């Protein structure tokens, strides 16, 4: 396993970590979205230690709920990049406006070859697109149109989402529900969609396949990719007595 990279210039003392906010695709899974065995072993270890693992993903609510059941993580999670918050099996809140995304899709489709993923029919608050167009150019057009949405490229899909929500606003909702501070969470991820929760968390770690912008704000960058990298991060946190 390659040697990990740690940031030498951390100026702050991290607070005790009470919970984890963890991305799914590219963090617990491999490049083909298959869950990695090392990640599953690390999650079992966290369950034994009773450390809550809050899934934070751009995936649909139904996908995230099923994944949480299979992984044995709480029914408290963030889906659709903060647009849908599940507090428990019986309490789910939609906090974004799908009509904004539909308007943006309609207008952008006139200029870009946008194709929706089939999962869009399960989505409550955003639209997932295939990565077959110039995302940077489309983002500039959205700004010119004055539409209050963002395009988020997770490397697996491009999401049109309500600008008022993201994984950071989702983390604020979850932290309040669990009576924790955002700084008591560790955030673990691989793409720029994780940046908003990284800015709030007390400890930030990225897997080796993460983009440079996420690595730049990470307190720890794993030497390994995907789920193996997640397992390495958990090993590091245990070794440093953070959990």
Residue 23 bears catalytic tag: yes
Beta-carbon-side half-sphere exposure of residue 61 (alpha carbons within 13 Å)? 20
Distances in Å between the alpha carbon of 71 and those of 24, 35, 99? Answer: 11, 10, 33
Strands 5-6 and 220-221: antiparallel
Catalytic residue among 9, 23, 25, 166: 23
- Torsion over CA: 161, 166, 172, 177 (sign): positive
Which helix (H) or strand (E) segment is 168 a member of?
helix 167-177
- Of 226, 100, 76, which Cα lies nearest the Cα of 151? 100
C-alpha span between 27 and 226 (Å, rounded): 5
Which helix (H) or strand (E) segment is 172 a member of?
helix 167-177
Which residues participate in catalysis according to the annotation? 23
């Amino acid at each position: 396993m390659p040697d990990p990279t740690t940031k030498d210039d951390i100026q702050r003392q991290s607070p005790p970590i009470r919970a984890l906010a963890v991305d799914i695709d590219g963090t617990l899974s491999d490049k083909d979205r298959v869950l990695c065995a090392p990640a599953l072993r690390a999650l079992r270890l966290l369950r034994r230690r009773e450390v809550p693992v809050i899934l934070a993903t751009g995936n649909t609510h139904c996908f995230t709920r099923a994944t949480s059941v299979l992984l044995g993580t709480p029914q408290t999670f963030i889906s659709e990049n903060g647009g849908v918050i599940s507090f428990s099996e019986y309490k789910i809140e939609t906090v974004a406006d799908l009509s904004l995304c539909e308007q943006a899709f309609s207008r952008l489709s006139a200029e870009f070859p946008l194709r929706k993923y089939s999962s869009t029919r399960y989505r409550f608050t955003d639209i997932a697109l295939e990565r077959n167009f110039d995302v940077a150019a489309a983002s500039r057009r959205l700004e010119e149109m004055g539409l209050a949405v963002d395009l988020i490229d997770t490397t697996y899909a491009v999401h049109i989402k309500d600008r008022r929500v993201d994984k950071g606003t989702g983390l604020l909702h979850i932290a309040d529900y669990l009576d924790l501070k955002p700084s008591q969470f560790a955030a673990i991820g691989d793409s720029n969609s994780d940046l908003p929760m990284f800015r709030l968390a007390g400890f930030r770690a990225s897997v080796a396949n993460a983009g440079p912008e996420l690595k730049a704000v990470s307190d720890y960058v794993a030497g390994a990719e995907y789920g193996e990298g997640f397992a390495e991060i958990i090993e590091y946190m245990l070794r440093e007595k953070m959990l």
